[in-house]
Each structure stands twice: as structure tokens, then as C-alpha cells.
Structure 1
């Protein structure tokens, strides 16, 4: 997310180069990253990736995803002024993203939020247009609940349109308090119902963002929304498994996420090559079934 915004171009390119060297290929961005930084417009991340693709000539080596729906409708606006997910705006947003990315298509195009002020049929039609035009290979829903994804999939089926094949919600090992309002506006935390939905719906998956809680497992305060007894219990078990495996907290968390029966794909944002290499080792780590069950049962 922060590439092209917080990180300088040389660091960003080094991270992306090393990512491919390590065997990675999925890159997830959005048409609004990083509008919230000083002087930010929302173009930063996509433009950085476009320059990297042009410099390296490697667009075909990457499974590329971007999103529409959270870009402020005017400069200086906030999330409360997010662009609508209407048919017309979806098409325009994708064309703008493709121009910034320097490509003619993305592999996965996300609805960045659940826009309940726009008729669902208009949203479904907009994402279907993208697929039919060859500008997106698949479409997905970020920050949606499972029942809203299913409603959209049903509307798509009735219209003979492209349907969402993936969800992307906030999900990590530690759980916020029930009903806690997360400080990051617009984040929707994956629920047990979401996990059950992707487990029982062939051809779908859950992509987990904020998988490492922006560094809170190792270097930042968790925040009051994680202040409950379950957090302490889970951290104790997490540290036990770290001692057993010789892995870091971040690595064990990523291994736990990847070990779900439901198809869960952890997304990681990094600010250095060292952080990337640590995360790659975590995704490769395999917990034994007893360790995974023990971590999951902690509460």
C-alpha cells in the first residue's frame, strides 16, 4: 500500500524486485492509495507500479489487482466522500487505474467497499462490463459481509453477469473486541460467517489484509480495541508456538492464517526487503495440526 507514498522509489523497486525473486506474483493495490498522506492524491501506488512495470518489462509475471470505491470524489475529500460504485463510475475508475498502471487489464478488480446507496444491479453491471471488455479477468468484494457478497452473486447469476469470486476483509490472529469500532475507517473484520462462506462456496477465497496488524505483533501498541482477555491468551499461545518452531511472531501468524481449512490468503504490506523476507518465510512455514488447533482454541 505505502509503496510510492511513504517509501521512496528506490526502496519500493527493491522490495518489488525481491518479491518476484522469492517466487511471489500477486500484487494488490487500489485507486486511492495513498490519498491520506500529506500531499497525497490516491494516484501514488498505481503510478509507482506502472513505472516499475515499464522499467522491468514484467507485467505478465504479476497477478495484478486493484480496487475502486474508496477514492474521494474530489481533492481533499475523505472516506465519507468516496466515489460511488455505479456502473458509470466503475468503468471510468478502471480506465483511470489502467492508465496509471500502464497496462490494458488487471487480473482481479475489487469493489473496495459495500456501496449501499447505489443499486446493486448497477454495481454488478459495472464489474461485468469490466470482464466483458477484457479489462479485468475476475472481480471481487472487499470490506463486504458474506450475505452481501451472496446477494451480489445471486444478482449476477440472474443477469448472466460476472460474479465476485473473492472476498478481502481485515483478518489476523488477534481478534478485536466484539462491536469494537476500528480506528481505520471503513475496515470490515472477517467474521466466522465469512470464513464459513468461502469454505462452502467453491471457487471463492478470503484475502486477509492487515494480517500483521501494521507491526503491532512486534513493535506497536495494539490499541484499545484489542484490550480484552482473549488477546492475552492468544499472545501466550503464539509465543509458545514461536518457541517451538524458532519462528518470529509475524511468521507464526502468517503460517496460522495460511493453515485454515477455508481458503485464506494473507496479504502483507512491508516497508523493507528484510520485512518481506521475514514474511515470505512465514508463508512457507507449516504448523503441525496440534499447534494450529491450539492457537485457534486460545480465547
Structure 2
């Protein structure tokens, strides 16, 4: 396994594996025994970065979520896991009532919600401090100053370490960071968005926002990350939920762009040259890119996880990377 440092403050920064394990369906679709086996294998391989959320996976149970955090808490206790494993969680998109969606009915990012939801996440995970806490989705109802102050209070108290943000427009991220900096408060340092080798359309409505796909990395966000190299990008849905390799899981309309066939051909060409799988090439391309990305990988079996782990040591040549980068 390889590692990188996230965060800049010596008091909160952490060294994490360059591959992150997504625990979204652990405890619901993925049963406890299988979840434990995947987690154990990840740690055995040197993985130290696990991702969850306080609303995972409400859509599987008709509840409000928390199943993934609870399973991770049980796993931590059963294995004697301490702070050597960094667990990131999120708040803000938990449905307000069981059996409902977060669309138009979510907890949001008020100072009260931030404090109460973070406390419940700590209890479910069984930790004294949340290593990394994300603002999951935008909240247009709460002033950014309140959200910034709410997160900063928890950092000052020592119950939260690093702060992150997910599925926010780049200008909202910058505004929140500017507000924090002006007040001498900690700001967002880790950004989590959808990014893969195939670009995604940004102009279609989504559950997060009817005006466009704010959850996917676009040109504005990439430019922002190039200008702010101290920020860390974590990418979800990197393997397009199996669509790269499984014909029964076709690419959705959000990937119906003229560049898609050209990039898929380049991807397969490089996979053939390296002897790696297409999925492994995608992960290696993200890890070693101009804007280094920590891929967040899901797994429903140890075999799936092993394939992703194999990408960590895949070294693409400059020529292969150039082939991938220029396939448009």
C-alpha cells in the first residue's frame, strides 16, 4: 500500500492510504460477515482510510440511515481497531423521518444539526473524535457563516479532526473556506465528488439539484484544485458501479458524450499493454494524475476488493498516461 497526507494543520492532518474503502452498503445490502471480511482484508493490505455517512443506507431499509456507521462501530470493537484507521463520515443529507427521502426533507447544515448529528455519529462509530467530517450536500437555507462556525466549534473541542465537503459547487466551497479563513477558523480541506476516467455530463438534473450535476467533477472544480494544491480530492463511483467491465450494467445517459467511445478504446488499449484490468487502469490513472485523487472503492466481496488493491502498485508509463489524457 502507498500513503499520502491529508490536511495541513499538524494537530489534525492524517496519513491515509491512497485507496479508500467505501462502506456505504455495509450492514444493509452487504451482510455483516461479508462486510467484516472485506474490512479485514483492506486493513491486512495496509488500507487505513474508510468512508461512510450518517444516512447510509436509508434507501435500503426505509429508515434514516446509520446502519453503516453502526456496523463499523461493531467491527472496530471486535477487532480492537484504534485511531490507526481513519474513518470519514458525513452529515447534512439524513432524511428527517423514516421512509422518506432527503430531497426537500433533509437535516441540513445548521449549527444545531452539525453538533447533534456529529455526536450521534461518534456514538455509532464508537470513537471519541471523528477523523474527517464532511458537509454532505448543499444547504441553501442556512447562512454559510453558521455552518462554518458550527464545524469549527467541534474542531476546537477536539471531537472532530479534519473538515471536508461533498457535492457543493466550487464557488460555494471557496466562499465557505474564505469565511473560515477571515475568521481564523478551520475550513474544508478534503473534497469528495464523483470522478472517473469517463467524464460525466454536468447539465442534467439530479436528486441533489435540478439545475445540474453538482456532485460530479467539472472544469471549474479541477481548475480550483490545481490552484489550491493543499486540498485533497476523494472520488466516489470511480468504477461506475461496474459499468466498465459488466455488459449488464450499461453506462447511463450522463456518460453519453462524444468522447466516451474514444476514451473507452484508450482505456482498453492501456489495460492490454499493462496486463491489468480496465478497473485497475482507471484507479491508477486517478491516483497518479495531475490532480492526485484518492479513489473511493466499494466492494461486495473480497475478490472485488483485491482487484482494486492491485491498482495501487500499477505504474503507468508517461506514454500510457499521455494516451489516456489526450483521448478526446
Q: Note the residue ranges of structure 2 that are not aligned, 5 or more in a row.
A: 1-23
Equivalent residue runs for 1:27-106 within 5 Å? 27-80=50-103, 81-106=105-130
In the alignment, is residue 109 of structure 1 matched against residue 130 of structure 2? no
In the alignment, is residue 26 of structure 1 matched against residue 55 of structure 2? no
Which of 182, 189, 198 pairs up with 1:165?
Answer: 189
Kept in 2: contact 1:259–1:292 (CA 8 A): no
Match for residue 217 of structure 1? 244
In structure 1, distance between residues paired with 2:154 and 2:292: 25
In structure 1, distance between residues paired with 2:28 and 2:143: 34
In the alignment, is residue 207 of structure 1 matched against residue 207 of structure 2? no
In structure 2, distance between residues paired with 1:180 and 1:286: 35
Shift in alpha-carbon separation, 1:184–1:268, aligned structure 2, 3 A: farther
Equivalent residue runs for 1:264-283 within 5 Å? 264-283=293-312
Shift in alpha-carbon separation, 1:187–1:158, aligned structure 2, 3 A: closer
Kept in 2: contact 1:195–1:206 (CA 8 A): no
Q: Which has the higher contact order (CA 8 A, sep 6+)?
A: 2
SS in 2 for 1:103: coil
Kept in 1: contact 2:92–2:135 (CA 8 A): yes
1:158 Cα deviation after fit: 1.5
Q: Note the residue ranges of structure 1 that are not aligned, 5 or more in a row.
A: none
In structure 1, distance between residues paired with 2:177 and 2:62: 38
Match for residue 130 of structure 1? 154
Kept in 1: contact 2:62–2:100 (CA 8 A): no
In structure 2, distance between residues paired with 1:189 and 1:2: 21
What CA deviation, in whole Å up to 9, does each residue of 1:40-81 have, x standing for no partner? 430110000000001001132201110001100111221211
* Between structures 1 and 2, the one with greater helix share: 1
In structure 1, distance between residues paired with 2:82 and 2:123: 14
After TM superposition, the score normalised by the length of structure 1 is 0.96
Kept in 2: contact 1:73–1:83 (CA 8 A): yes
What CA deviation, in whole Å up to 9, does each residue of 1:137-190 have, x standing for no partner? 110111112221111011001222111111111100111235134578776101
What CA deviation, in whole Å up to 9, does each residue of 1:195-225 have, x standing for no partner? 2222221421111111111111111111122
SS in 1 for 2:83: helix
Match for residue 261 of structure 2? 232
Shift in alpha-carbon separation, 1:288–1:183, aligned structure 2, 3 A: farther
What CA deviation, in whole Å up to 9, does each residue of 1:108-133 have, x standing for no partner? 10000121211001100111011011
Computed over aligned residues only, the root mean square deviation of the Cα atoms, in angstroms, reads 1.5
SS in 1 for 2:164: strand
SS in 2 for 1:298: coil
Which of 316, 319, 327 pairs up with 1:287?
Answer: 316
Deviates more, 1:255-264 or 1:164-173: 255-264
